[in-house]
Amino acid sequence: MLKRLFVVFIFIYATTSFAQITFVDKDSIKTAQDSIKRSAYLKNIGNGYLPFNYFNLDLRYLVKFNQYEGFRTGLGGITNDRFSEWFRLNPYVVYGFKDHRFKYRLSGGFRLHERTNTWLNLGYTDDLSETGSSTFLTDKRFFTFFEPRLLNIDLFHRYIKKSVAIEHRMSNHLLSETELSLNKINPTYNYTYLLDGRGFNTFDLSTAKLSLQWSPFSEFDIVDDEVVTVKDGYPKFTLQLTQGFKSVFGSDFNFSKIDFRTVQEFNHKNDAITNITLVAGLAGGDTPLTHLYHAYPNNINKETILQRFSVAGLNSFETMYFNEFFSDKFSTLQLKHYFPAFKISDRFKPQLVLISRYAVGDMNSIDRHQGIQFGTLKHLYSESGFEINKLLFGFGLSFAYRYGGYHLPELEDNIAFKFTFNISL
């Protein structure tokens, strides 16, 4: 536990050094231009970039930690409009001190149409991905100064990916991205996928993806010839279709996937907020475990509550153990109610959040997946709890309890007690 707390301290020290940047005027008179520059700078930091003259440094690659790589550190970023408004480079290189390997991406893009912000992107990536994770192409920028789930993930597969993609804004409310890719997959753990009497320890996949993000109730404005969101409207919807093609460029499997997410948020008159997130996924055909689903667990496989003490995630199941469940069809529902902050003083404003999470799923042909043991979510998985955030320097506490169809015999095995970390610019 001390090792994990040390890692958390290093993360927080590194990230808060950026988050606590302040801007003090040297002159008593502020011009509108200075204000705009400062606002743009803060926006870049909030999005995870440290801007330089022609290149924005990506803060995601500076330092991370997980159970397979240990400390992972490197550099990456993207060229900005000062470099070119019609061409961009977006590379990175990182090194894992535990697996002693470099990972990298070489990528760039060409703007095809300015008004619709249409880009043609080319990329070559050699890196790791968490088995069972599912991301949307249109989630181009999801950044937090501290990503707690990463600390305890140990199930990764290596992938080498060659891709071509097109980003296109169909309208202010509808974004799209289409990607064609060739992938070489190599699990870093003992795993064999059985199909037609043959066992696959590594495999090639040729895939096509289409991702759509629809925000029908958001409001937009044009600032400096760019579309800017001025008000987030809810609900929001994201849909992604994936198709794997067997025998195309040596691909081993034919499969299909549908991923869906919707987010609803209610703002109450007393400044309370209720957030509802529904996520669902369905995979059919010959889909290996690497491309199936987990429910974003965040509980360490240790015996006691104190040994499992770590940091609560943003949208993860705190009582669900890592690698406990996998599914080829699943859905999760998360309910969060944020009470108004307790204004004890100008600096001390803790906030209570009530949380309930539910997951259900299943898997066909579970016997195809050899070398790893896991369960399915045929029954409803339930957990509820609360968070008290921002108690001290962004730190808080969380408590969650597991009940229902997957309640465990030992009481303490159903309890997750962790601390939270929230920081905003």
Which 3-state string (H, E, C) describes 104-149?
A: EEEEEEEEEECCCCEEEEEEEEEEEEECCCCCCCCCCCCCCCCCHH
- Residue 27 pLDDT exceeds 60: no
Q: In what order do the strands lie in the sheet with 369-370?
A: 198-200, 192-195, 369-370
User: DSSP states of 358-403 as a string?
Assistant: EEEEE-S-GGGEES---B---SPEEEEEEEEEEEETTEEEEEEEEE
Helix (H) or strand (E) holding 17: helix 2-19
Q: Is 340 helix (H, G, I), strand (E, B) or coil?
A: coil
Q: Which domains does the chain have, with CATH numbers?
A: 2-421 (2.40.160.50)
Q: In whole angstroms, what is the distance from residue 215 CA to residue 232 CA?
A: 8
Say which residue, 223 or 204, is predicted with more confidence. 204
Helix (H) or strand (E) holding 90: none
- Residue 73 pLDDT exceeds 50: yes
| Identity of the highest mean pLDDT range in 44-48, 347-351, 380-384, 388-392 | 380-384
Q: For 7-23, write each residue's pLDDT tens digit.
A: 444 444 444 443 333 34
Best CA proximity match to 184, nearest among 162, 210, 165 = 162
Q: Region 39-55: what's the mean pLDDT? A: 74
Q: Is 21 helix (H, G, I), strand (E, B) or coil?
A: coil
Give the model's pLDDT for residue 22: 39
Give the model's pLDDT for residue 394: 81
Site of tokens 């944020």: 338
Burial of 51 (0-12, 13-18, 19+ CB in 10 A): middle
**What is the percent of the chain with per-residue pLDDT over 90, rounded to a whole number?**
69
Q: For 149-173, write each residue's pLDDT tens digit.
A: 888 898 999 999 999 999 999 999 9
Give the model's pLDDT for residue 46: 60
- Residue 47 pLDDT exceeds 50: yes
CA distances from 400 to 64, 160, 301 (A): 26, 38, 16
Q: For 244-287, write each residue's pLDDT tens digit.
A: 999 999 999 999 999 999 999 999 999 999 999 999 999 999 99
Give the model's pLDDT for residue 230: 78
Q: In whole angstroms, what is the distance from residue 237 CA to residue 127 CA?
A: 29
How does the average pLDDT of the chain come out, rounded? Answer: 88
Q: For 80-123, write each residue's pLDDT tens digit.
A: 999 999 999 999 999 999 999 999 999 999 999 998 999 999 99
Phi, psi of 83 (to 5 degrees): -75, -50
Q: Tell me the CA end-to-end span of the chain in Å, nearest whole number.
A: 30
Give the model's pLDDT for residue 146: 64
Q: Region 388-402: what's the mean pLDDT? A: 92
DSSP symbol at 412: G
Say which residue, 140 or 326, is predicted with more confidence. 326
Q: Region 332-359: what's the mean pLDDT? A: 94
Give the model's pLDDT for residue 18: 39
Locate 83 and state its tokens: 């470099």
Specify the pTM: 0.87
